[in-house]
Structures are given as C-alpha cells and as structure tokens.
Amino acid sequence: MRLATEKCHAKTSALSLTDIDQFLLDIPDWKVDAGVLTRKFSFADFYDTMAFVNAVAWVSHQQDHHPDMAVGFNKCQISYSTHSVGGLSRNDFICAARVDQLFT
C-alpha cells in the first residue's frame, strides 16, 4: 500500500478520472460517490468504534487533512474530498490508505 507511506501536501490539485481509478486499486474497499471518497466501517461495540474514530482524528491531525465522519454505536462512515480543489486530490487517497492501515 504505497499511498499509506506518503504524506499529504498543502499544494494539491484535483485528480483526473483516470488517476482516481488507478488510486482506487490501492484501496479497494473505498468507493467514489458524487465526487466523494467513502468507506463504511463496522465494529463490535461502541468502545471499538470510538477508539477507531479517535485514531482517525490523530491521523487527520498529523496529515492536516480532515474527513467527514458519521458515527454510530458500532459503525463509522468516513468521507474524503478536497474542498479547495473542488474534487478529489491525492491527499484524499493518502488519508484513506492510512485509515485502512488503522482498521486492519
């Protein structure tokens, strides 16, 4: 998972559809819906869910790139997009790959 070893960059640009398709090969559990990179995660209980959410918050802070999160008792949906470029950037895929590492 090469994306997970990269760091987010302050200067980034929107990806082409070809680039998006290529990056999705590295994070197959994620999907693009309406221009947003999204994945749903399931957990055994509330404690595991919150531990994951806090770990994602730490990664987000370290990378200075923050997702939208919808959190429930035993589930969490993470959604990335780069508002400043009006679409998806490499940073979205870097963070998604790092989140995948937390989950596995």
Residues 83, 86, 91, 92, CA torsion sign: positive
Residue type at 61 in one-letter notation: H
Q: What element of type H or E holds 52?
A: helix 46-63
For 27-58, write each residue's pLDDT tens digit: 999 999 999 999 999 999 999 999 999 999 99
CA–CA dist 96, 32 (Å, integer): 12
For residue 76, the model assigns a pLDDT of 98
For 73-96, write each residue's pLDDT tens digit: 999 999 999 999 999 999 999 999
In a domain, 3, yes or no: no
| Token pair belonging to 83 | 């508002």
In a domain, 2, yes or no: no
Identify the CATH number of the domain in which residue 35 sits.
Answer: 3.30.1360.20
54-81: b (≥16 Cβ within 10 Å) or e: eebeebbeebebebeeebeeeebebbbb
Number of domains in the chain: 1
E strand segments, the chain: 31-33, 36-42, 68-71, 75-80
In a domain, 32, yes or no: yes
In a domain, 19, yes or no: yes
In a domain, 6, yes or no: no
pTM of the complete model? 0.94
Q: Residue for token digits 């990179």?
A: 37
